[in-house]
Structure 1
Amino acid sequence: MLNLKANNELKRWVKTIFIAIGLTLVIRTFLFSPYVVDGASMEPTLHNHEKIFVNKVYYSDHFNRGDIIIIKGSDENYVKRIIGMPGDEIEMKGDQLLINRVPYKETYLAENLKFAKLQGSRLTEDFGPIVLPKNQYYVMGDNRLKSKDSRNGLGFIKGENIIGKSEFVLFPFSKIRNIK
């Protein structure tokens, strides 16, 4: 009798463990996942080796300008900020981003712009105007001097290549914060 009870208990534990593993795999694959920032292209917003929480439930018609997204590349994934939306005309003149010919304030660049001006240089080379095709996004890193992005290698980003939107920094624990 005792052996039968122990056997049933073991079966319950094995079943519970398999359900937990299955749920974890489904959640990480389709809903939420951690992602490690690799490099300095998003500084000072995100730093090398920080772990961010990525919401994979976003669909391409729910992304907004300024969202920090994870992009599926051919060799690796990238973390970048959406600058241009499908159909936008974007242009950069003298470190001023113009969207549909209207100046757009990039408050997240304040620290980097100060540093560039102290160095007597510009943060972003002039480009455009560029009109984005349907279902294509233009992305850039916040650290424009050290970023591989739509300007210099990634090109336009198709909506289907966006893995998800980053929500907050998860690690290191001393720097947990929302991402804007």
Structure 2
Amino acid sequence: MESRDPDQSYIDGAEAGTGKTPSKTAKNETWEWIKALAIAGVLVFVIRYFVFAPFIVEGPSMEPNFYTNERLIVNKILYDIRPPKRGEVVVFHAPEGKDYIKRVIALPGETVKVEGDNVYINGQLMEQTFLKAALDKAAKEGRPWNTLANYKETKVPEGTIFAMGDNRSNSKDSRDPTVGFVPYKEIVGRADLIFWPVNKMGLVHFK
């Protein structure tokens, strides 16, 4: 058996040849964890504030397609790439300081008119497939889906959209002069995904 000089310093086998003391190795590992967590935190911040954001539906204005307390993921970067399209569901900053969720109906330069359940874009009847079941049910029951006043033909200004709630009889939207046309700069993004409740989880359909 090898004898050791009590006055001589030794490094045991696990540390031999590494050139690192246990305390230095632990410090390096801790620092790597800190860096990884910091990077993850930055990524979460960027995604949360610049790419995607959660949104909670409040009120009945988008029924029967969206209900109170449903959770959505809003794509915040899409409209930096291209303008909104008809039928898309958007979240925007309303004049009263709240965020509204509505559907894009008419685009810049188009004329829009609402007569009862019918919507006309540039004088042509708009197909509302996203409301077909609700419209058919209302017609079968002999009642209108939209009980609010008609909206006379009006041209949508450049850089804005005309948006309405799917629940036409119970929605404060572009038909209301306190809301009016929605400027592009006030649009937060497009609702892309329902993630709560679980039984409704899925992509948002725009047609």
In structure 2, C-alpha distance between the alignment counterparts of 1:92 and 1:73, rounded to whole Å: 21
> Whose strand proportion is higher, 1 or 2?
1
Please tell me the residue identity of whatever aligns with 1:39. Answer: G
In structure 1, C-alpha distance between the alignment counterparts of 2:165 and 2:134, rounded to whole Å: 11
Moved over 4 A (4+): 114-117
Structure 2 equivalent of residue 5 of structure 1: 25
In structure 2, C-alpha distance between the alignment counterparts of 1:174 and 1:115, rounded to whole Å: 24
Q: Compared with structure 1, are the counterparts of its residues 119 and 40 closer, same or farther at alpha carbon in structure 2 (3 Å cutoff)?
A: farther
Q: How does 1:160-171 map to 2 (within 5 A)?
A: 160-171=185-196
In structure 1, C-alpha distance between the alignment counterparts of 2:183 and 2:144, rounded to whole Å: 32
Please tell me the residue identity of whatever aligns with 1:164. Answer: G
Q: Secondary structure at the match of 2:162?
A: strand
Structure 2 equivalent of residue 15 of structure 1: 35
Q: How does 1:101-140 map to 2 (within 5 A)?
A: 101-114=123-136, 116-117=138-139, 118=141, 120-123=143-146, 124-140=148-164
1:5-37 deviations in Å (ceiling 9; x for gaps): 111111111111111010110111111122111
Structure of higher CA gyration radius: 2
Would you say the 8 A contact 1:95–1:126 is kept in 2?
no
Q: Does 1:176 align with 2:201?
A: yes
How many residues are matched?
A: 180
In structure 2, C-alpha distance between the alignment counterparts of 1:119 and 1:48, rounded to whole Å: 27
1:57-103 deviations in Å (ceiling 9; x for gaps): 22264311000011023422111100110011000123111000001
Please tell me the residue identity of whatever aligns with 1:79. Answer: I
The counterpart of 1:83, out of the listed 92, 100, 105, is 105
In structure 2, C-alpha distance between the alignment counterparts of 1:59 and 1:121, rounded to whole Å: 34
> Whose helix proportion is higher, 1 or 2?
1
Gaps of 5+ in 1: none
TM-score (norm 2): 0.81
1:106-147 deviations in Å (ceiling 9; x for gaps): 122233334544363451531110101110111001011121
Would you say the 8 A contact 1:95–1:125 is kept in 2?
no
TM-score (norm 1): 0.92
The counterpart of 1:68, out of the listed 72, 76, 89, is 89
Q: Secondary structure at the match of 2:78?
A: coil
- Structure with larger RCO (C-alpha < 8 A, sep 6+): 1
Q: Secondary structure at the match of 2:175?
A: coil
Structure 1 equivalent of residue 115 of structure 2: 93
Q: Secondary structure at the match of 2:66?
A: coil
Structure 1 equivalent of residue 71 of structure 2: 51
